């Protein structure tokens, strides 16, 4: 609807209701109050604060026409009920990551990250310009949810271990918190993946309920104090090479918005998508320095043969998922095609540059 038509229509409504003049209605409008539920502990660095920023940005850009109250995990609903809450309209928005809903929609995992797959920049390029976003919307459509990319962790760390990983044998029987497709890969390597929300990691590791956990990277891991609960900090994050964080928007609530508010909500997600990535990029290196030099953390690279084995298993897991589920196949085809092309370009751009600088 053109803005002029909107004002005209709002004016007709206002006159009928005997309310104020049309322009005032169009400007002030009805104050919209939304809730945003998140999978993160309240105010958790970058993840929680990024969700807060998204809410605040929408309020500022709409000049207060939309106000959003943000809830941390467990405040209104448990962490892993965010998708359902937004789907049924208990909350109009959510913030999390798509692999948390794998029990409900297996193919959603492609929209978080794929083990040994695209990094954060490549992933975002696929979503914005490679057809990924359209497939993501199609995936959530039956649940009355509109997804948006709203943050990216960039390459993560392999995680915190209380067991040395010297060979693939050491993965056998390993009880590790690791979500998404990475968890499926660990299972195939003989380990036991568990899915726990971030807030439960420290205690689970400290008490020995799990042998290892991954979370995000130095900045977020330091915030949870995971170095006080594990002996070794392994890299690289083969299982999460650039995880997309998502904003979930209840479709009905979105469709009720005026055209300009719709544009603002979508673009605020874009701003936060970039901003959170850059915050991770800026703060992970400072935190790594603190972990290594202040806390004397034993940082180790996973052995090459372990990574090679995990890569073979990852390809198996991903292709089997595509083979058994037609929706997953469609997404996998698009993802793989884009990955192949962008990897060829990055081979002679980013990668070679990293090696020569
Ligand atoms: Ca992670």
CA of 196 to the centre of ligand 1 (A): 11
Mean of the per-residue pLDDT values of the chain: 93
Task: Using CB atoms within 10 Å of the CB of residue 346, give its burial: 0 to 12 exposed, 13 to 18 middle, 19+ buried.
Answer: middle
Q: What are the pLDDT digits (tens) for 274-316?
A: 999 999 999 999 999 999 999 999 999 999 999 999 999 999 9
- The confidence band for 29, taking pLDDT boundaries of 50, 70 and 90, is low
170 lies in some domain: no
Instruction: Supply the pLDDT for residue 84.
Output: 98
Distance CA 145, CA 109 (A): 16
99 lies in some domain: yes
CA of 347 to the centre of ligand 1 (A): 26
CATH number, domain containing residue 54: 3.40.190.170
CA of 167 to the centre of ligand 1 (A): 22
Q: How many domains does the chain have?
A: 1
Nearest C-alpha neighbor of 312 from the set 214, 149, 189, 183: 189
351 lies in some domain: no
CA of 208 to the centre of ligand 1 (A): 19
- The confidence band for 30, taking pLDDT boundaries of 50, 70 and 90, is confident
344 lies in some domain: no
Distance CA 275, CA 282 (A): 11
List phi, psi (to 5°) of 19.
-95, -165
194 lies in some domain: no
Q: Average pLDDT for residues 64-76, to the nearest whole number? A: 98
CA of 57 to the centre of ligand 1 (A): 26
271 lies in some domain: yes
Q: What are the pLDDT digits (tens) for 198-237?
A: 999 999 999 999 999 999 999 999 999 999 999 999 999 9
Q: Are strands 145-152 and 244-250 parallel, antiparallel or unpaired?
A: antiparallel
68 lies in some domain: yes
pTM: 0.89
Distance from the Cα of residue 268 to its chain's centroid: 16
CA of 139 to the centre of ligand 1 (A): 22
224 lies in some domain: no
CA of 166 to the centre of ligand 1 (A): 22
Domain hosting residue 257, numbered range: 32-153+242-281
Nearest C-alpha neighbor of 88 from the set 128, 48, 35, 143: 143
């Amino acid at each position: 609807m053109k803005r002029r038509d909107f004002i005209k229509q709002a004016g007709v409504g206002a006159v009928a209701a005997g309310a104020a003049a049309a322009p005032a209605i169009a400007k002030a409008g009805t104050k919209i109050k939304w809730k945003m539920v998140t999978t993160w502990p309240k105010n958790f660095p970058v993840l929680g604060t990024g969700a807060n920023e998204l809410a605040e940005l929408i309020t500022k850009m709409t000049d207060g026409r939309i106000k959003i109250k943000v809830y941390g995990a467990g405040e209104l609903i448990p962490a892993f009920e965010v998708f359902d809450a937004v789907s049924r309209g208990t909350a109009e928005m959510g913030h999390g990551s798509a692999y948390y809903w794998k029990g409900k929609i297996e193919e959603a995992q492609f929209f978080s990250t794929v083990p040994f797959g695209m990094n954060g920049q490549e992933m975002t390029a696929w979503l914005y310009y490679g057809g990924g976003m359209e497939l993501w919307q199609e995936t959530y459509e039956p649940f009355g949810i509109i997804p948006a990319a709203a943050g990216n962790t960039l390459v993560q760390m392999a995680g915190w271990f209380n067991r040395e990983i010297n060979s693939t044998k050491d993965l056998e029987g390993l009880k590790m918190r690791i979500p998404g497709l990475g968890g499926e890969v660990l299972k195939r390597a003989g380990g036991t993946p568990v899915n726990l929300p971030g807030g439960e990691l420290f205690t689970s590791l400290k008490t020995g309920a799990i042998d290892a956990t991954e979370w995000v990277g130095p900045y977020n891991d330091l915030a949870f104090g995971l170095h006080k609960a594990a002996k070794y900090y392994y890299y690289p994050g083969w299982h999460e090479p650039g995880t997309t964080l998502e904003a979930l928007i209840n479709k009905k609530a979105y469709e009720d918005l005026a055209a300009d508010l719709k544009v603002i909500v979508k673009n605020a997600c874009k701003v936060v998508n970039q901003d959170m990535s850059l915050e991770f990029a800026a703060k992970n290196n400072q935190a790594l320095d603190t972990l290594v030099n202040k806390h004397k953390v034993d940082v180790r690279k996973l052995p090459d043969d372990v990574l090679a084995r995990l890569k073979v298993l990852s390809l198996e897991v991903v292709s089997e998922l595509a083979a058994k589920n037609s929706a997953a196949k469609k997404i996998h085809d698009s993802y793989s095609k884009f990955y192949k092309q962008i990897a060829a370009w990055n081979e002679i751009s980013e990668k070679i540059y990293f090696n020569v600088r």
